[in-house]
Amino acid sequence: MLKHSLWQATYLPPNLQEQLIRWARLLIFDKFWEGCDGLSVSKEMQWKVSAQAGLMVVGYPDWHFDKTATVLIYPRPYVARDSPVLLGGYTVGIEGESVRAGETGYRKPVILNWNDVQLGARDANDGHNLVIHEFAHQLDLINGPSADGLPPLPHNVDEVKWWESMKAELQAARAIVADGYRVLIGDYGLSEPSEFFAVSSELYFQQPHLLAEYHPTVYELLQIFYQIDLREYVPKQT
Ligand SMILES: [Zn+2]
């Protein structure tokens, strides 16, 4: 099931695959899973979400996204109504305006859509991964209700320096765009530090070689946090 849920798993060594399988089973057991708009949540859906989220915390196997109890899955990008996330307080990560791909918030559910969950599980080449994006927001929110692009870092890392470096990279990317060029991280990732962290996290796991080539400092900073370097395992995309 792991390799059907996570394209990167094919390239990972057996010990990491086993760790991911154990972790995914725990997450599947631990969360409430709810389908929306008539969707019935299947094992395949639970595995695809859990395996992709698990890859992000390979460096922190004890982390189980404790601040979010529920995963909601729509069949496809959805039109927002009064979703639980919108009912007050610290909403972040609403991806899209009227039609949304997903969203989450501090102590709120992670809301996803099955179309995009499947694309992230099998597509190495477009750089997008909705599961990683929304769970990156959850990692950002572990250390407080403000989605500021600063996740909890290992104790030996200077948090302020790390955060200032990320924000400097955001400013540099914005300057490139202001000059009329495009950047790999894309416009949405430049909207604010929390989205910069979430979108660059998508690329970190989906297109590690490209992110390291085009945004080497961002790659290094994310490597300090995630503590896994997929370039060791995943071949360069052509
Ligand atoms: Zn977001």
The string of pLDDT tens digits covering residues 142-168 is 999 989 999 999 999 999 999 999 999
pLDDT at 186 over 60: yes
Helix (H) or strand (E) holding 5: helix 2-5
The residue-averaged pLDDT of 224-236 equals 96
Summarize pLDDT for 86-123 with one digit per residue, the tens. Answer: 444 444 555 555 688 899 989 999 999 999 999 999 87
**Ligand 1 mean position, distance from CA 183 (Å):** 17
**Ligand 1 mean position, distance from CA 13 (Å):** 30
**Ligand 1 mean position, distance from CA 14 (Å):** 32
**Ligand 1 mean position, distance from CA 180 (Å):** 24
The residue-averaged pLDDT of 131-143 equals 96
**Ligand 1 mean position, distance from CA 195 (Å):** 5
Query: Which pLDDT score, from 0 to 100, does residue 99 have?
Result: 80
Q: How many CB atoms are located within 10 Å of the residue 14 CB?
A: 7
Tell me the Ramachandran region of residue 115: left when phi exceeds 0, alpha when psi lies from -120 to 50, beta otherwise: alpha
Q: Which residue has the higher pLDDT, 88 or 29?
A: 29
The residue-averaged pLDDT of 178-183 equals 95
Query: Which pLDDT score, from 0 to 100, does residue 123 have?
Result: 75
Query: Which pLDDT score, from 0 to 100, does residue 101 have?
Result: 87
Q: Which residue has the tokens 């094992």?
A: 43
**Ligand 1 mean position, distance from CA 164 (Å):** 20
Does the CA dihedral 226-231-237-238 come out positive or negative?
Answer: positive
Please give all residues whose CB falls under 5 A of ion ligand 1, grouped by chain where several chains appear.
93, 195, 198
Strands 70-74 and 32-35, sheet pairing: parallel
Query: Which pLDDT score, from 0 to 100, does residue 84 have?
Result: 46
What band does 81 get if pLDDT is binned at 50, 70 and 90? low
**Ligand 1 mean position, distance from CA 95 (Å):** 5
pLDDT at 216 over 60: yes
Q: Which residue has the higher pLDDT, 226 or 77?
A: 226
Q: How many residues does the chain have?
A: 238
**Ligand 1 mean position, distance from CA 31 (Å):** 21
Q: Which residue has the tokens 């631990």?
A: 30
**Ligand 1 mean position, distance from CA 194 (Å):** 7
3-state secondary structure 166-234: HHHHHHHHHHHHHCCCCCCCHHHHCCCHHHHHHHHHHHHHHCHHHHHHHCHHHHHHHHHHHCCCHHHCC
Which domains does the chain show, CATH number per domain?
2-232 (3.40.390.10)
Copy the structure tokens of residue 84: 């639980």
**Ligand 1 mean position, distance from CA 8 (Å):** 22
pLDDT, the chain, mean: 91
